[in-house]
């Protein structure tokens, strides 16, 4: 089956602009992933039994910790403690201050996003690609007040279309069911720790801006076919992850709102 998600580049009008703005779109997309996954993980941990949440997200938690540990080794950061299989441990990884603060902090903090995405791609290949995303990179964007309202409208469209496509996909095959479960586990597990959010957000903004200005001043990477193809494939994953996370966040918020409303009502009656 083919699952076509709403493409993020529709957020950006394509009648004017320049190709280098693709990097700004990527930076924005990763920031959305950061806050959406963090919000879902915190809501689940607060309103659902903590052991149930940790057990469900356990495979993703392992990849999360291993990804950060791997980047610690690559950056030469000393690991003081690593507990992969303990549900009780809220972090599971303790390490010294990186040799190059902020830069290596950014690498370590963002590693779970790419680690979980990589595992999700492998699972998809093993299951025969039950869900496929075919989208194009956003080559142009226009900054305007209207863009803010377009964000809100198109995010709602993304949620609706994601729900619609999952509904149509249904439970017709074991592979699609397994991949849907794996998608939820590994996208939510991309959530950074609260202390790392500042490194993630600031890092993606700086990285997107640097690449943007390099292209703007003629130092073009988009001219290389391999780089352009890598961005194209990466955008498909970014689109899929954002669509899924926004849908999960929307459903979670609705359910929690209803439950809290019922509890409040019953509480007043008693």
The domain ranges of the chain are 8-139+150-269
Average pLDDT of span 76-88: 81
| Whether the predicted pLDDT of 88 surpasses 70 | no
pLDDT of residue 30: 94
3-state secondary structure of 31: helix
pLDDT of residue 130: 64
- The CA-based dihedral angle spanning residues 259, 262, 263, 269, taken in that order and rounded to the nearest 10 degrees: 180
Residue 133's nearest CA partner among 158, 111, 155, 170 is: 158
pLDDT of residue 218: 81
CA distances in angstroms from 70 to 27, 205, 270, listed in the order given = 23, 24, 54
Q: Which of 62-71, 100-109, 167-176, 225-234 has the lowest mean pLDDT?
A: 167-176
pLDDT of residue 199: 95
Alpha carbon distance 166, 162 (integer Å)? 6
Which of 218 and 132 is assigned the larger pLDDT? 218
Residue 144 exposed, middle or buried by CB count within 10 Å (0-12, 13-18, 19+): exposed
- Model pTM? 0.81
Which of 30 and 179 is assigned the larger pLDDT? 30
pLDDT of residue 169: 61
Note the residue count of the chain: 270
| Percent of the chain whose pLDDT exceeds 90 | 35
Per-residue pLDDT of 100-143, as tens digits, reads 999 999 999 999 999 999 999 899 888 877 665 544 444 444 44
Which of 60-69, 123-132, 177-186, 250-259 has the highest mean predicted lDDT (pLDDT)? 60-69
Q: Which of 87-101, 124-138, 200-214 has the lowest mean pLDDT?
A: 124-138
Residue 92 exposed, middle or buried by CB count within 10 Å (0-12, 13-18, 19+): buried
pLDDT of residue 109: 94
With a CB cutoff of 8 Å and minimum separation 6, the contacts of 215 are: 18, 19, 20, 23, 221, 222
Q: Which helix (H) or strand (E) holds 100?
A: none
Q: Which of 2-6, 85-89, 97-101, 134-138 has the lowest mean pLDDT?
A: 2-6
Average pLDDT of span 69-78: 93
């Amino acid at each position: 089956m083919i699952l076509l998600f709403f493409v993020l580049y529709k957020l950006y009008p394509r009648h004017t602009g320049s190709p280098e703005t693709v990097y700004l779109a990527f930076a924005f997309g990763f920031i959305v992933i950061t806050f959406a996954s963090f919000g879902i993980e915190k809501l689940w941990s607060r309103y659902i039994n903590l052991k149930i949440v940790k057990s469900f997200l356990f495979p993703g938690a392992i990849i999360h910790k291993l990804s950060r540990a791997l980047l610690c080794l690559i950056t030469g950061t000393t690991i003081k403690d690593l507990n992969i299989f303990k549900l009780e441990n809220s972090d599971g990884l303790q390490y010294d201050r990186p040799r190059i603060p902020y830069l290596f902090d950014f690498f370590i903090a963002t590693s779970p996003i790419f680690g979980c995405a990589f595992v999700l791609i492998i699972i998809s290949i093993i299951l025969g690609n039950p869900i496929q995303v075919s989208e194009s990179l956003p080559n142009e964007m226009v900054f305007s007040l209207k863009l803010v309202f377009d964000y809100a409208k198109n995010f709602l469209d993304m949620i609706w279309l994601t729900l619609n496509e999952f509904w149509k996909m249904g439970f017709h095959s074991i592979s699609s069911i397994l991949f849907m479960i794996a998608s939820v586990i590994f996208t939510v597990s991309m959530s950074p720790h609260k202390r790392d959010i500042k490194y993630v957000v600031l890092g993606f903004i700086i990285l997107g801006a640097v690449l943007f200005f390099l292209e703007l001043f003629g130092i073009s990477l988009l001219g290389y076919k391999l780089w352009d193809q890598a961005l194209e494939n990466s955008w498909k994953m970014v689109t899929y992850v954002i669509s899924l996370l926004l849908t999960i966040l929307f459903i979670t918020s609705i359910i929690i709102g209803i439950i809290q409303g019922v509890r409040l009502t019953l509480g007043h009656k008693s």
